[in-house]
Structure 1
Amino acid sequence: MSLIHDKRTLRSAMLAWRGGLSEDERRVAADGLVASFEREQPFETPTVVSGFWPIKDEIDIRPLMIELHNGGCQLVLPVVQGRGKPLLFRAWRPGDPLEQGVFGTLQPSPKRETLEPDALIVPMLACDEEGWRLGYGGGFYDRTLLGLRGRKAVTAVGVGFNAQLVDDVPHGPDDQRLDWLLTDKRACAFV
């Protein structure tokens, strides 16, 4: 099997699984995510942290972003600059208006300050115990992490539901590993 085929197969399975969760399961998971973060602290605060506005059936990290903001962190949200380019990050505070981005995303206004994060909360469809992450296939976070890691130390924290931790995520030479996994039930560092 090819890498593209293997990723596509796992991506489809995880999207179907995530789509079957109830609203109650989602609410409980969002609260569990905050509790897991508070127990394990995958990065020191306050710092500049990239979150994301959840789309599709992603775990709702907005309660976590509010906690980080209340703890003194400067939040930024990603902006897709175009195919084949890394993400850009603009400052955001809870309550700030957001504009429509690509792929159904919401993003801060171009008038907001651009900052580089020290910690990134990264969406995912799956992650394995070695820190390999499966995303939607655009490579935006992989390109972004490669660039950031070439300039400074950053911490990449994949977030999702606990069942998104799988035995093996197919990966290639352009994929970037996560430093941490944070779910509604656990947090673990990858060595």
Structure 2
Amino acid sequence: MTLIDDKRSLRRSMLAWRGGLGEEERREAAAGLLGMWRLERPVRTPAIVSGFWPMAEELDIRPLMTELFVQGCQLALPVVVGKKQPLVFRAWRPDDPLEAGVFGTLHPSPRCDVVEPDALIVPLLACDEEGWRLGYGGGFYDRTLEGLRAKKTITAVGVGFDAQLIPHVPHGPDDQRLDWLLTDKRACAFV
């Protein structure tokens, strides 16, 4: 099997697993994630922090984003501007209206300021103990992290359900490691 096949197979199994979670499990995980953030604080605040608007069965990070806003952080959400392009980040505040984007995403209006984050809260399907992340396959976060890291120090915090931490994530030369993984039950800093 090739790297692409390995990633595709793992993606299918993780999507199926995540899709089987119930609403109560999801609510408890969102609360657990917020509790772990408060305990570990992987990002110094205030900072410019990009989150994401959860879609499908992703862990709901909206309570965490509200907490960061209350702590004085400038928030942003990612915007896909084109295939094989890095993400752009638009300023966002809780309760700001959002517009439909590609792949079922929601993002701030083009009228919102473009900002450069100090930290990214990154969605994932799986992560291993070395910080390798499996995303959805578009490479948007990998390209974005590579570009931002060439300019300044960036903290990339992957967030997911605890069972998304697995022994090994297949990865290649274009993949970027996370600095942290935060789940509803643990926080892992990667050196």
TM-score range relative to shorter protein: over 0.9
Equivalent-residue separation in structure 2 for 1:115 and 1:187 (angstroms)? 27
- Look up the match of 2:106: 106
**Per-residue deviation, 1:56:** 1.1
- Look up the match of 2:52: 52
Amino acid at match of 1:36: M
Q: Percent identity?
A: 73
Equivalent-residue separation in structure 1 for 2:188 and 2:72 (angstroms)? 23
Q: How many residues align?
A: 191
- Look up the match of 1:133: 133
Aligned alpha-carbon RMSD (Å): 0.4
Q: 2:17 matched to 1:10?
A: no
Equivalent-residue separation in structure 1 for 2:9 and 2:97 (angstroms)? 36
Equivalent-residue separation in structure 2 for 1:38 and 1:11 (angstroms)? 30
**Per-residue deviation, 1:105:** 0.3
CA-to-aligned-CA distance 1:21-80 (integer Å, 9 cap, x gap): 000000000000000000001010010000000011100000000000011000000000
Q: 2:80 matched to 1:80?
A: yes
- Look up the match of 1:38: 38
Q: TM-score, normalised by structure 1?
A: 1.00
CA-to-aligned-CA distance 1:112-136 (integer Å, 9 cap, x gap): 0000000000000000000000000
- Name stretches of at least 5 consecutive residues in structure 1 with no aligned partner: none
Instruction: Spell out structure 1 runs of 4+ moving beyond 6 A.
Output: none
Instruction: Trace 1:146-165 onto structure 2 (pairs within 5 A).
Output: 146-165=146-165
Amino acid at match of 1:166: I
Amino acid at match of 1:133: R
Equivalent-residue separation in structure 1 for 2:183 and 2:174 (angstroms)? 25
**Per-residue deviation, 1:89:** 0.1
- Look up the match of 2:90: 90
**Per-residue deviation, 1:137:** 0.1
